[in-house]
Structures are given as structure tokens and as C-alpha cells.
A and B are shown apart, each in its own frame.
Chain A
Amino acid sequence: MSEVLKVEDMSVTFDLHDSEVHAVREMNFTLAEGETLAVVGESGSGKSQAFLSIMGLLAKNGRATGRAVMGDVDLIGMAPKQLDIYRGKDIAMIFQDPMTSLNPTLRVKTQLAEVLVTHRNFDKQAAIKTSIEMLERVGIPEPVKRANAYPHELSGGMRQRVMIAMSLLCQPKILIADEPTTALDVTVQAQMLDLFKKLTEDFGTALVLITHDLGVVAGIADRMMVMYGGRAVETGKTDDLFYDPRHPYTLGLLHSTPHIAKRTARLDPIQGLPPSLEHLPQGCSFNPRCAFAFDRCHAERPPLTEAGEGRQKACFYEGAMKYGEVA
């Protein structure tokens, strides 16, 4: 399969009053056509900022460097005007909070149709018609009525469906979903994931799923990338990482997820807190919380290197990892 996005050495920096914070450092990955990549990490691991920078949506004090090549264009550092040719058409994004992500003063159909008018030169009527078809496709009952509604007249799940419909109108090559199910009811979450899976398959859209919910990842992602302190620490096929994690952080994440089959009395959370991006520890960022850390981990930072077929990790520790013996 051909790749639709190739990110090389991408870093994101925010200027603060008298310092700067590196939210993302030297990120490298490729996204293949139609695949689903899950980006996993705690709050503050840089997962959202990495993709906002690809969309050119960083806050004013944010800067991105490196390359994010889609087709034959590099999206990083592109002028907003240029970026508008691709945003919404070839690369679309869905945000975490469906309650505030739609414009409260515009009807649903207006917000959908404008995408087609802008990118596909549809006239208004045709755009509305196509939008209503898309609403039906994402499972909204009475799509004509909903299209004429304002966002506040819809439930959270319904609004997220509207967001999905909106993002897929131009059948983009890449869809970035930033915690699309976090703000939703658990029952709605599963439906939403099924919908993602089905639609991205139908359209051949590559999906980037930014989440901290490993349950979400297991059900839908082909590959996953685990982020910690602004860097990718382990990447690989979802199954490989789930059954045979090679980075202590991935292992810790898996152990802090409740599992219905294992009736343990307590969860094992990862000890400590995620590091402040302003004061990352010397050596490996994870070393203060790592049970396997040894001298080298405190001295130098492990680079992301090949660790078996189709997977990479950033860790010096090569021994077996059994969580029970260290926790």
C-alpha cells in the first residue's frame, strides 16, 4: 500500500513568556492508505499538538518544524491560504468536544454544505442535498429535519455524527480524530467506533485516532504509536504491542487498563506523574517512573530503533518484561 502521509523530524515548540516548551520532538512516522493508526499517550504527551500542527491549527505561540508530506506537498510551515486548499478536502479533523465544535449560530446544513461549496465548487442546493445524504450515511435519523436544526437542538452523540459527516464530505485521504469518543456516553462510544471503521473502509480514508483509551485502540487500530513526553516511544502493529509490549511505558499502560477477563482486585497504575515538558528528566524521559531503568537510562536518551518486524521502540532494556515482578 502506498503512503498518504510521511512525517519526518517534526517538532512542535511553544513560546512562553521567557522560555519555550517542546510539546513534540523529532516525530517520525508514515501513514499508509486506508490504515488506522492509533496515537496513544497520557495528557500532555504531545499527541494532539502533533496533529494540530499538521492541520496548521496550532495556537499563536506555537511553531512546528520538520516535514509532513502528503502526496507531494509539505504541510508544515505552509501559509494558511495555501493550506486551505488541502484542509477539509484531503485531510480533515474531528475534535474532542462535539458540544463546542459546531458553530451555535449556524444551521447544521450550512456548516456541512460550505465544505462542498468551498472545495468541490458545488452550488448551494446540490451541496445541501449531498450533505443530507451524508447525514443519513452516518446514521442520523430524519436527516432533513436535523440538517435544518441548530447544533444546540442535537444530542452530543448526534453532534459528533454531524462532525464525522462534515469531515468525510470530500472523502479525504486522511482523517484525524482527536479523542472523538471521550466526551460521549459509553454506549454511544461503541457505535461511533463502528461508524469510523465502516466509513473509513468505504472511503479508503486513513484514520489517525488520537486517544488515551486502549479499549478504543484494540477494537479498531491496525497500528499504534505510543507517545511519552513529546516523543514516540514505541510503534508497531496493535496486536504486537498489546500481547508483547517492549517498552515499559506501553506495558504500564496496558496494566493500568481494566480488563473484564482478569478479575483482579486492584488496577496497577503507573507510579508517579507524567513529566513536565519544561523539565524533562536527563536521559530517558520515562526513567523516574520506570521499574527497569538502569544506569544508561539516566545518562543518555534511547533513540527510536527497530525492534523486530515492523516495530520500533525507544528503550535500552532488552530483557524480559513481566510486570508482576516489578510492581
Chain B
Amino acid sequence: MLGYALRRVLSAIPIALIAVTVCFFVLRLAPGGPFDGERALPPTVLANLRAHYNLDQPLVVQYLIYIWRLLQGDLGPSMVIDGFNVSQLISIGFPFTLTVAMSAFVIATVIGVIAGMIAAVNQNKWPDYVLVLVVMLGVVIPNFLMAALLQLWFGVYLGWLPAGGWVAGSIPHLVLPVTVLAWPHAARISRLMRGSMIEVLGTNFVRTARSKGLGQRLVLARHAIKPALLPVVSYLGPGMSYLLTGSLAVEQIFGLPGIGKYFVTAALNRDYGVVLGTTILYMFIILALNLIVDLVYAWLDPKVRYR
């Protein structure tokens, strides 16, 4: 198991390097630059700025400088927001984004798995139909519409929850954004779980477990859940990355102080440092999540450990 984990970590390194390289060059392919304002800067000022951020060097040299700094843990300065470097901007916004995304992730996964199981055990009975309906709402309604509807109902008509904005440490302000973010995620997970659970309940080994007189609870908890979770677990890695990126939009809708604000403005302003830094951060998170998923997978399915 440990050897397997180590192999997976090592195999992530070249992937990370390739991703950074591609991001770096693709970003530079986009037209415009960080100092192309509405009013053109005087040529000498522009030249000084470009020299300061090494933008006058050949692209390959810039790339090597960036990689060299990155290896030392330095994500470089922001080229647009004066006086801040990328790490500072991330440390301001990211904890918030992570909190929102992680809450949505945990809530959605737990609800999705349980709902999927209930639907599978009651296949084609009323709990199944009700869950399918609720799930379909989450899948077919896009998050910006869902957000607006919930804001209108719970924020304006009922007045139960704040419709947007942020007060430090206030959980009610998080309920609607997390719901909007978690719903489609829970929906997809419950579909996956329902399908795989129905399949597992029909297998020979579940029949064997029943023939042993273990009782419904033990049959489900010990014999059916682990194998049924396999497809769900392989979805969780990509699922978390949807949540993190989806969080950017949801933060904008609800006016929350996450990293989304910086990322969107940075992309529009060609703030190379911030866009690259945020992308790299996300990449590492996704790599780490996939690694965790692989390890959980190996724990769930003993056959994987030998591949």
C-alpha cells in the first residue's frame, strides 16, 4: 500500500511540470498584456515596467525564471495590483473559497451517497421517484438561475436567509451559496450511487451474504457499500475540481470575498502572475485530490493494489 502511494506521488511530478508549462505559454499566446490600459503609458515607463517584470526577456528565459522561482515556492508579484504578490492575494481569498467548496463537497457527498442508497434499496418505489425528481432539478437548473431563485425565495420573500454579501464568520451567509454549489454535485453522486448500488445488490456475493442471514443492515453496510462506492470515488476528484471552479462563479453571484474576484479580474487584465499562480494552485489541489482518490480506490478494491 505504501509503495503504491509512493508510485502515485512520483507519477504526479511530470504531470505537474507539463501543466505549468502549458499554462505559461498558452497565457502568453493571448493577445494584450498587463500594461495595456485604456490610456497608453509613456514608452519609457512601459519599458521600465517590462524590464522590472522581466517581460523584455525572451519568452523561454522568462519561463525558466518563473520555474526557478516556483521551485523556491515564489509565485511572483501581481503585475496589476500594486504592492501585492500572488501568494498574498491567494492567502487572502483562497481560504474562503476552500471553505465554501469543501463544505459543499462534504455535504454533497454525504447526501448524494445516502440518497443514492435509499433510491437503490427502494428501486421503483416512491422514495426513489421523489429523489429522482429532486436530483433532476439540481442537474437541469444552471447554478446562476438556481442562485437567483433561492435568493428570491429565501432571501427576499421569506427573509429567512441573507440574499448575498458577507459578514465575517456568519454561517447563514454561507447557506445559500453552499446549497447552490452542492446541489448539482449531490445530484450526480446520487445518480452514480443509485446505479452502482442496484448493480451490486444484484450480484452473487450479495446473494451469498443474504444466504448467511446477516440481516439487511449488515448486508448493506459491510457487503454492498464498499463495492458500490467505487464509481462514486472515481468521480470525487473531478467533482471537487468542479466545485472549486464553480465556487468562483457562485462567489461572484453572492458577492463573497473568495479568490474568484481576483481570478476573474486578473484574467481580464492579463495579470500573468495571478492567473498562473491561481491555476497552479488549483492544479496542485486537483492532483492531490486525484491522489487521495486513487488511494481510497486501492483501499476499496484490493485488486487495484497490485496493478
Q: Which chain A residues numbered 291 to 324 have a C-beta less than 8 Å away from chain B?
A: none
Chain A residue at minimum C-beta to C-beta distance from B229: A105
Contact A105 B301 (CB under 8 A): yes
User: Which of B205, B208, B215, B222 lies at the interface centre, i.e. has the most chain A CB atoms within 10 A of its CB?
Assistant: B208
B303 touches A (CB below 8 Å) = yes
B210 touches A (CB below 8 Å) = yes
Main secondary structure of the interface of B (DSSP, over half): helix
B226 touches A (CB below 8 Å) = yes
Q: What's the least CB distance linking B101 to chain A, in Å?
A: 30
Contact B223 A106 (CB under 8 A): yes
Determine the distance from Cα of A89 to Cα of B214 in the docked complex, in whole angstroms: 10
B169 touches A (CB below 8 Å) = no
Contact A88 B212 (CB under 8 A): yes
A43 touches B (CB below 8 Å) = no
Contact A89 B208 (CB under 8 A): no
Q: Which chain B residues numbered 201 to 257 have a C-beta less than 8 Å away from chain A?
A: 203-205, 207-216, 218, 222-223, 226-227
What is the total number of residues of chain B having a CB less than 8 Å from a CB of chain A? 22
Quick one: which of A86, A95, A106, A114 contacts B207, CB cutoff 8 A? A95
Determine the distance from Cα of A118 to Cα of B222 in the docked complex, in whole angstroms: 13
- With A80-B216, A100-B204, A104-B302 as known contacts, state yes or no: A57 contacts B227, CB within 8 Å: no
Quick one: which of B207, B210, B218, B303 contacts A104, CB cutoff 8 A? B303
Determine the distance from Cα of A114 to Cα of B218 in the docked complex, in whole angstroms: 9
Determine the distance from Cα of A114 to Cα of B223 in the docked complex, in whole angstroms: 11
A15 touches B (CB below 8 Å) = no
Contact A83 B211 (CB under 8 A): no
Contact B211 A88 (CB under 8 A): yes
B80 touches A (CB below 8 Å) = no
Q: What's the least CB distance linking A191 to chain B, in Å?
A: 22
Contact B205 A104 (CB under 8 A): yes
A152 touches B (CB below 8 Å) = yes
- B212 / chain A contacts, CB cutoff of 8 Å: 87-88, 92, 114-115, 118, 166
Determine the distance from Cα of A163 to Cα of B208 in the docked complex, in whole angstroms: 9
Quick one: which of A57, A92, A114 contacts B214, CB cutoff 8 A? A114
A55 touches B (CB below 8 Å) = yes
- B223 / chain A contacts, CB cutoff of 8 Å: 103, 106
Q: Which chain B residues numbered 267 to 307 have a C-beta less than 8 Å away from chain A?
A: 300-303
A81 touches B (CB below 8 Å) = yes
Contact A93 B214 (CB under 8 A): no
A102 touches B (CB below 8 Å) = yes
Q: Which chain A residues numbered 88 to 111 have a C-beta less than 8 Å away from chain B?
A: 88-89, 92-93, 95, 97, 100-106, 110
Contact A103 B205 (CB under 8 A): yes
A150 touches B (CB below 8 Å) = yes
- B303 / chain A contacts, CB cutoff of 8 Å: 104, 150, 152
Contact A92 B211 (CB under 8 A): yes
Contact A103 B213 (CB under 8 A): no
Contact B208 A118 (CB under 8 A): no
Q: Which chain A residues numbered 111 to 157 have a C-beta less than 8 Å away from chain B?
A: 114-115, 118-119, 150, 152
A85 touches B (CB below 8 Å) = yes
Contact A119 B213 (CB under 8 A): yes
- B207 / chain A contacts, CB cutoff of 8 Å: 57, 95, 101
Contact B213 A83 (CB under 8 A): yes
Quick one: which of A86, A118, A150 contacts B215, CB cutoff 8 A? A118
Q: What's the least CB distance linking B137 to chain A, in Å?
A: 28
Determine the distance from Cα of A132 to Cα of B203 in the docked complex, in whole angstroms: 26
Contact A102 B208 (CB under 8 A): yes
Determine the distance from Cα of A88 to Cα of B215 in the docked complex, in whole angstroms: 11
Quick one: which of A55, A114, A152 contacts B211, CB cutoff 8 A? A55
A84 touches B (CB below 8 Å) = yes
Q: Which chain A residues numbered 262 to 310 have a C-beta less than 8 Å away from chain B?
A: none
- A166 / chain B contacts, CB cutoff of 8 Å: 212
- B227 / chain A contacts, CB cutoff of 8 Å: 103-105
- A110 / chain B contacts, CB cutoff of 8 Å: 222
Contact A100 B205 (CB under 8 A): yes
Q: What's the least CB distance linking A241 to chain B, in Å?
A: 29
Contact A114 B222 (CB under 8 A): yes
Mask for A47-75, Cβ within 8 A of B = 1, else 0?
00000000111000000000000000000
Mask for A212-254, Cβ within 8 A of B = 1, else 0?
0000000000000000000000000000000000000000000
Chain B residue at minimum C-beta to C-beta distance from A176: B211
Mask for B169-213, Cβ within 8 A of A = 1, else 0?
000000000000000000000000000000000011101111111
A-B contacts besides A104-B205, A106-B222, 7 pairs, CB < 8 Å:
A56-B210, A57-B207, A85-B213, A89-B213, A100-B203, A104-B301, A114-B218
Which B residues form the contact surface with A (CB < 8 A)? 203-205, 207-216, 218, 222-223, 226-227, 300-303
Which A residues form the contact surface with B (CB < 8 A)? 55-57, 80-81, 83-89, 92-93, 95, 97, 100-106, 110, 114-115, 118-119, 150, 152, 163, 166
Q: Could you show 14 A-B contacts with beta carbons less than 8 Å apart?
A: A85-B213, A87-B211, A87-B213, A92-B211, A93-B211, A95-B204, A95-B207, A95-B211, A106-B222, A106-B226, A110-B222, A115-B214, A150-B302, A163-B208
The 9 closest A-B pairs by CB, nearest first: A87-B213, A88-B213, A88-B212, A84-B213, A100-B204, A150-B302, A103-B205, A105-B226, A93-B211
